Structure 1
């Protein structure tokens, strides 16, 4: 695969760096949005970077994902709390995943690996 898959990460508290490390470890390109309220910019940044996947983090796991869905029409699943839920969502064709706070390298790595497997 010549071009890396772009994964945009928006965290309500300005985090997401660990997930970004996992994305990169799996061979993807991570774009971590900086600053508080970054989850609300997820759809805008996905459009800007032509991302294959967007990951949103906030307390409920929904605000940024719902905003990206409403503004740009991305298929979003939110309220997730585990890596397995995210993998299932990718397998079902969702482009935006909303989680409660779960800034782990393993999450980024496994989601990116699954996406690459599906994209060939």
Structure 2
């Protein structure tokens, strides 16, 4: 075991390798959690209190401007352009599934979604 300059043990990260691949359900759950976080952040910025976690756009009364703001936020956090068609859904779960489908399983998972 190697010691650092302070005499403390260093972890050998070379043996851990890349993280295990996530299943489709795990990827969707992670995306849904991120999506809910972004939606609640937009609502909070606008001073729109909401008790709980919204499940659908209609539930929170969003219009197209709110959805465009969400699209811009997600493009920034996911580091990719998102086609507007992916937002043509009613439920956040369906949006999460559509967003996951845009990220190839061979691509690195976006940093904003890594736990």
Q: What is the TM-score with the length of structure 2 in the denominator?
A: 0.32
The TM-score normalised by the length of structure 1 is 0.31
Bigger CA radius of gyration: 2
Higher strand share: 1
